[in-house]
Amino acid sequence: GAVVSQHPSRVICKSGTSVKIECRSLDFQATTMFWYRQFPKKSLMLMATSNEGSKATYEQGVEKDKFLINHASLTLSTLTVTSAHPEDSSFYICSAGQSDYEQYFGPGTRLTVT
Amino acid sequence: KQEVTQIPAALSVPEGENLVLNCSFTDSAIYNLQWFRQDPGKGLTSLLLIQSSQREQTSGRLNASLDKSSGRSTLYIAASQPGDSATYLCAVRLYSGANSKLTFGKGITLSVRP
């Protein structure tokens, strides 16, 4: 089946620094990737939709200058959390669509900002 | 705005019991509905996907049904096992196309006692 990977799986960074998270579709090409954030005991919150070769579409309330998304190829999208603060600590999950009706999810990245 | 509700938030059952997890959504004009499993600290694994024209889907001990007109879906787990312990999320998609978003419920955390 379709496999999506994320790197790193865990990252700890200091407040004020930037962190980049990669999302890769390993065995298929994904024109669209999605980035989600999940708080403890909460559902997944869609942050943005990433299309290959174009600017990402951000959901209302998500700061595009803080969460930079780049989708440079059909198999790679990156999320960069700029000037991270403790409140950015969360579980970040990406998904990629192989067809127009199913999304495949990555294993997630646990970000802790100290 | 589409809202997805899963009640109760948590459920504990003894091993071997058959159980039903419920999901409701406010806008019945969906394209499809998906059930996912999430283990602690992990990403999402797709369990079953039901297109809007379908009534149910089955995979092994899992059966998902969809009643679009009433805005309800159920996930039936037969002969539950401790390995089924996880959080189960349902998500709906309003339209087709690679950019179509999923709207998630908060999930039901299932614990199957040996």
pLDDT at residue A85 is higher than 80: yes
pLDDT at residue A71 is higher than 70: yes
Between A and B, how many CB-CB pairs are < 8 A? 61
Mean pLDDT in chain A? 91
Of A49, A101, A108, the CB nearest to B101: A49
pLDDT at residue B55 is higher than 80: yes
pLDDT tens digit sequence for A16-30: 999 999 999 998 888
Give the residue from chain A lying closest to B5, CA to CA. Answer: A43
Question: Per-residue confidence at A111, pLDDT binned at 50, 70, 90?
Answer: very high
HSE-CB at B51 with a 13 A cutoff on CA atoms is: 5
pLDDT tens digit sequence for A3-57: 999 999 999 999 999 999 999 999 888 888 999 999 887 789 999 999 888 889 9
pLDDT at residue A69 is higher than 80: yes
Structure token pair of residue A91: 């579980």
Of A34, A42, A102, the CB nearest to B106: A42
pLDDT, average across residues B21-46: 94
pLDDT at residue B70 is higher than 70: yes
Q: For residue B8, say if its preceding peptide bond is cis, omega within 30 degrees of 0.
A: yes
Q: Within 10 A of B40 (CB to CB), how many other CB atoms are there?
A: 8
**Which residues, in sequence order, are CB contacts of A60 under 8 Å at separation 6+?**
none
Name every chain A residue with its beta carbon within 8 A of the beta carbon of B31: 101
Q: What is the reported pLDDT for B72? A: 97
Q: What is the reported pLDDT for A51? A: 87
Partner B contacted by A55 (CB < 8 A): no
pLDDT at residue B13 is higher than 90: yes
pLDDT at residue A61 is higher than 90: yes
Q: What is the reported pLDDT for A98? A: 66
Among candidate residues B91, B81, B83, the one with its CA nearest the CA of residue B19: B81
